[in-house]
């Protein structure tokens, strides 16, 4: 695996003048050999400010030529040829003689694009919510950045699904604020012509639209959540029961009943919006939050920010005074105004943050369009404001938990997908849905594991399979609606040991997952991604939608259907070329074929790529501390490598490359295999100076000898699993490289 260690993308929306070609009311900007920005303004008011989607245009200018001949402007790059009829309106109704066209080569054939050309082969992106989703709802998905046609268009002047538009940022200090476009009737679009080089398209998108920020490491652990009128004591009991049942946990979610509902104070509001603790349920919130932190847990509060701030809310008078508003009426919600944002956060939210609330859950906004700013979408805007405010505070690595707000929202993680139904068809849609969201850089969907709305009784098999899928999804958060018939406490189920075993697997995979969070930041390629990123010319990569790559080295194909009481389920799985190690059985399978495999309820279909090196953690109960031991599993193969990533886990120093990479390699020549842990590169505060390693060499015969740096070392051989295990205890990093040589029979 190659990880590019690069700093944060420059936030400079002004393109190099050498990249710009003017022609009358038209302006073309060549950003990369594959991206050309196309603008038209009859007022000659071209935008050099950042937009909601594109925040950086100051890229190295690619080689291109520009010439005017026979009434046409032609711009040619290494990958694209743009032809524009000088003086014309670029969009006309003649596809045989368009005023503007771009040609490119896709899989050996010339493809021609023109404005308004329909693309039936777009590979889609994501959607705002899965509320009320039942089964396959792909018709809800917006178009994405990738297409089998080889091209895609970002049209900044096209309405989003919520009716809002991509507006501009004003460039102000602090949280950059919204601004309308200088020319309301302008054209502003970006043509992306990457053919089937999907990974390059995503990398370049993050160069112009901003990187996918890394979440704190703790978010990759288990979240317990349920919409229920829990008291403080109920939540303490749940945490204690989780500990008693030996279940790992990192996040306890506090849903909306934490706050006053307002029924006794007003008659014209619902229970959704509130900003003050309900002391009948949480008599001492300060002590409770401190207790959660003492249990090594993070927490969040659910917000429905739309109904304003009522007179009964804590600090209402201070907020009204700061805003110069009357103290006898509700303060309306007006996050579109910077003064409101500053005073609202100061008086209403900051006291909760100072108490220890780790991040905010921005749930449904009752009005998706802002009431006081034309064309502004509340969803995107709230995500932008809340995320960047947290970044300004500098206390921890920023993250929020929220709905998708449209293209550009990849800069604000984590996504909350909403209230789907608890059925196998709904579960079966989520692997496709999650992987496809990476086509717009939205790599951190958090689903209601188990489903939200339950039409029938609790189904232990369905809940188990959903948790197993959650192991191989971005975020593992169990949740459901406020219904007494739905049980989300896994220890109440007859198959609880299997559920706990799945969560333990998730914790074992954390170093692999966290490394690929860095990979997403560096490359724009998310943890969960469709198979066609690696195999773009194979139909199987598009047709087997229930499987996906989980990082570069794991193919996941979770079971999303019932075994109908038989205890085993049969599943067809496409394995690409090469050999694949079935992790649950230890079976090595030949690729380039569809295999039919059977799985018990405990088994999750996931496969290691030939030659892969998989970092794992030993058993953990939380991610607050850095494990002293790291496990490396080596999958059979002629060669392989992995760069194990670490940083301080919960701050922004990773953007300054305050982190380390430890390269691990394997190679086999005839019967001799060499496994090397190379010297660590980079540094960060608090990085360990010594480490213990457990090396697990999979699918091997009992070796003749095992030597570390030329000296015999003890090992264990498991005949049944065909696994060699070597413990390397308390190794100082100054001793590296560590070369383990295994002579195989």
Average pLDDT on 104-131 reads 96
Distance CA 430, CA 449 (A): 10
Distance CA 197, CA 537 (A): 10
Provide the mean pLDDT of the chain.
Answer: 95
Distance CA 420, CA 242 (A): 26
Give the model confidence (pLDDT) of 565-622 as tens digits.
999 999 999 999 999 999 999 999 999 999 999 999 999 999 999 999 999 999 999 9
Whichever domain contains 630, its CATH number is: 2.60.40.1180
Are residues 178 and 274 located together in one domain of the fold?
Answer: no
CA 453, distance to chain mean position in Å, is 24
In a domain, 693, yes or no: yes
Are residues 156 and 291 located together in one domain of the fold?
Answer: no
Distance CA 315, CA 424 (A): 46
In a domain, 319, yes or no: no
In a domain, 185, yes or no: yes
Quick one: pLDDT band at residue 266, thresholds 50, 70, 90? very low
In a domain, 488, yes or no: yes
In a domain, 338, yes or no: no
- Given CA atoms 704, 508, 236, 295 in this order, what sign does their dihedral have? positive
Average pLDDT on 666-681 reads 96
- Show which of 478, 496, 514 is a domain's final residue: 496
Give the model confidence (pLDDT) of 522-540 as tens digits.
999 999 999 999 999 999 9
Distance CA 235, CA 221 (A): 18
Are residues 581 and 640 located together in one domain of the fold?
Answer: no
Whichever domain contains 476, its CATH number is: 3.20.20.80
Are residues 488 and 547 located together in one domain of the fold?
Answer: no
Are residues 561 and 594 located together in one domain of the fold?
Answer: yes
Are residues 592 and 673 located together in one domain of the fold?
Answer: no
Are residues 168 and 303 located together in one domain of the fold?
Answer: no
Quick one: pLDDT band at residue 306, thresholds 50, 70, 90? confident
Residue 169 pLDDT exceeds 70: yes
Number of domains comprising the chain: 4
Helices assigned H by DSSP within 178-279: 198-209, 232-244
Angle at 295 between CA 290 and CA 296, to 5 degrees: 95
Average pLDDT on 177-184 reads 97
669 - beta bridge partners? 672
- Show which of 192, 209, 240 is a domain's final residue: 192
Q: What's the confidence (pLDDT) of residue 114? A: 97
In a domain, 260, yes or no: yes
Strand order in the sheet with 359-362: 359-362, 298-303, 251-254, 222-224, 476-478
Phi (first) and psi of residue 106, to 5 degrees? -125, 115
Question: What are 387's two structure tokens?
Answer: 């995320």
In a domain, 25, yes or no: yes
Domain coverage including residue 188: 17-117+152-192
Q: What's the confidence (pLDDT) of residue 9? A: 52
In a domain, 442, yes or no: yes
Are residues 358 and 460 located together in one domain of the fold?
Answer: yes
Q: What's the confidence (pLDDT) of residue 110? A: 97
Give the model confidence (pLDDT) of 410-445 as tens digits.
999 999 999 999 999 999 999 999 999 999 999 999
Are residues 306 and 356 located together in one domain of the fold?
Answer: yes
Residue 232: which residues within 8 A CB-CB, separation 6 or more?
281, 282, 283, 284, 285, 288
Angle at 622 between CA 442 and CA 644, to 5 degrees: 60
- Given CA atoms 357, 362, 364, 369 in this order, what sign does their dihedral have? positive
More confident residue, 243 or 95: 243
Task: Check if the beta carbon of residue 1 is closer than 8 Å to that of residue 552.
Answer: yes
Strand order in the sheet with 35-40: 20-23, 26-32, 35-40, 187-192, 152-155
In terms of phi and psi (left: phi > 0; alpha: psi -120 to 50; beta: otherwise), the region of 135 is left
- Show which of 142, 175, 192 is a domain's final residue: 192
Q: How does strand 359-362 pair with strand 298-303? A: parallel
Q: How does strand 568-575 pair with strand 554-556? A: unpaired
Residue 651: which residues within 8 A CB-CB, separation 6 or more?
396, 397
Are residues 384 and 461 located together in one domain of the fold?
Answer: yes
Are residues 435 and 486 located together in one domain of the fold?
Answer: yes
Are residues 166 and 304 located together in one domain of the fold?
Answer: no
Q: How does strand 705-708 pair with strand 738-743? A: antiparallel
Q: What's the confidence (pLDDT) of residue 271? A: 66
Quick one: pLDDT band at residue 93, thresholds 50, 70, 90? confident
Residue 6 pLDDT exceeds 60: no
In terms of phi and psi (left: phi > 0; alpha: psi -120 to 50; beta: otherwise), the region of 292 is alpha
Quick one: pLDDT band at residue 170, thresholds 50, 70, 90? very high
Quick one: pLDDT band at residue 272, thresholds 50, 70, 90? confident
- Identify the three-state secondary structure at position 509: coil
């Amino acid at each position: 695996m190659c990880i590019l260690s690069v700093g944060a993308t420059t936030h400079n929306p002004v393109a190099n003048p050498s990249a710009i070609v003017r022609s009358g009311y038209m302006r073309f900007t060549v950003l990369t050999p594959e991206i050309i920005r196309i603008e038209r303004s009859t007022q000659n008011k071209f935008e050099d400010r950042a937009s909601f989607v594109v925040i950086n245009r100051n890229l190295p200018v690619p080689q291109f030529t520009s010439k005017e001949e026979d009434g046409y402007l032609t711009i040619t790059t290494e990958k694209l040829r743009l032809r524009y009829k000088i003086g014309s309106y670029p969009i006309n109704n003649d596809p045989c003689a368009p005023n503007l066209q771009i040609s490119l080569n896709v899989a050996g054939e010339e493809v021609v694009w023109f404005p308004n050309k329909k693309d039936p082969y777009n590979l889609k992106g994501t959607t705002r919510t899965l509320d009320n989703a039942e089964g396959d709802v792909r018709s809800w998905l917006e178009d994405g950045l990738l297409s089998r046609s080889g091209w895609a268009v970002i049209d900044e002047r096209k309405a989003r699904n919520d009716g809002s538009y991509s507006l501009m940022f004003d460039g102000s200090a602090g949280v950059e604020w919204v601004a309308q476009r200088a020319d309301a009737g302008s054209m502003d679009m970006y043509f992306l012509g990457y053919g089937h080089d999907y990974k390059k398209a995503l990398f370049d998108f993050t160069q112009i639209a901003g990187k996918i920020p890394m979440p704190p490491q703790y978010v990759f652990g288990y979240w317990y959540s349920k919409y229920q009128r829990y008291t403080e004591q109920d939540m303490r009991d749940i945490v204690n029961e989780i500990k008693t049942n030996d279940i790992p946990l990192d996040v306890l979610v506090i849903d909306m009943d934490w706050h006053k509902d307002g029924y006794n104070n007003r008659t014209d509001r619902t229970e959704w919006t509130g900003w003050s603790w309900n002391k009948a349920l949480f008599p001492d919130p300060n002590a409770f939050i401190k207790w959660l932190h003492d249990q090594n847990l993070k927490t969040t509060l659910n917000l429905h920010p739309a109904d304003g701030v009522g007179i009964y809310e804590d600090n209402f008078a201070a907020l009204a005074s700061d805003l110069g508003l009357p103290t006898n009426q509700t303060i309306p919600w007006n996050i579109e105004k910077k003064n409101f944002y500053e005073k609202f956060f100061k008086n209403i939210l900051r006291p909760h943050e100072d108490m220890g609330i780790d991040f905010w859950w921005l749930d449904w906004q009752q009005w998706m369009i802002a009431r006081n700013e034309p064309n502004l979408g509340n969803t995107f805007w709230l995500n932008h404001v809340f995320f960047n405010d947290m970044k300004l505070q500098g206390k921890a690595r920023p993250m929020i938990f929220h709905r998708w707000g449209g293209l550009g929202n990849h800069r604000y993680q984590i996504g909350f997908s909403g209230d789907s139904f608890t059925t196998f068809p709904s579960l079966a849609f989520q692997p496709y849905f999650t992987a496809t969201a990476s086509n717009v850089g939205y790599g951190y969907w958090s689903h209601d594991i188990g489903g939200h709305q339950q039409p029938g009784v609790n189904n232990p098999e369905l809940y188990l399979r959903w948790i197993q899928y959650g192991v191989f999804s971005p975020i593992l958060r169990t949740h459901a609606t406020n219904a007494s018939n739905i049980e989300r406490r896994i220890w109440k189920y007859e198959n609880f040991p299997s559920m706990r075993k799945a969560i333990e697997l998730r914790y074992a995979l954390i170093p692999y997952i966290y490394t690929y969070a860095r990979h997403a930041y560096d490359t724009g390629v998310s943890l969960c991604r469709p198979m066609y990123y690696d195999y773009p010319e194979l139909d199987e990569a598009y047709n087997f939608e229930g499987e996906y790559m989980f990082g570069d080295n794991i193919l996941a194909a979770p079971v999303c259907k019932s075994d109908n009481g038989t205890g085993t389920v049969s599943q067809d799985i496409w394995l690409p070329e090469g050999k694949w190690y079935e992790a649950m059985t230890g079976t090595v399978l030949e690729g380039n074929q569809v295999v039919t495999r059977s799985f018990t309820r405990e088994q999750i279909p996931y496969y290691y790529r030939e030659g892969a090196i998989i970092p794992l953690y030993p058993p953990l109960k939380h991610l607050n501390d850095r494990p002293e031991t790291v496990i490396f599993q080596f999958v059979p193969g002629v060669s392989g490598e992995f760069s194990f990533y670490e940083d301080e886990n919960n701050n922004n120093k990773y953007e300054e490359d305050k982190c380390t990479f430890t390269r691990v390699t394997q190679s086999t020549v005839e019967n001799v295999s060499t496994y090397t842990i190379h010297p660590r590169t980079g540094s960060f505060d608090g990085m360990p100076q010594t480490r213990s390693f457990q090396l697990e060499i999979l699918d091997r015969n009992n070796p003749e000898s095992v030597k570390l740096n030329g000296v015999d070392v003890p090992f264990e051989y498991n005949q049944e699993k065909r696994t060699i295990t070597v413990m390397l205890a308390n190794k100082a990093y100054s001793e590296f490289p560590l070369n383990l040589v295994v002579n195989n029979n």
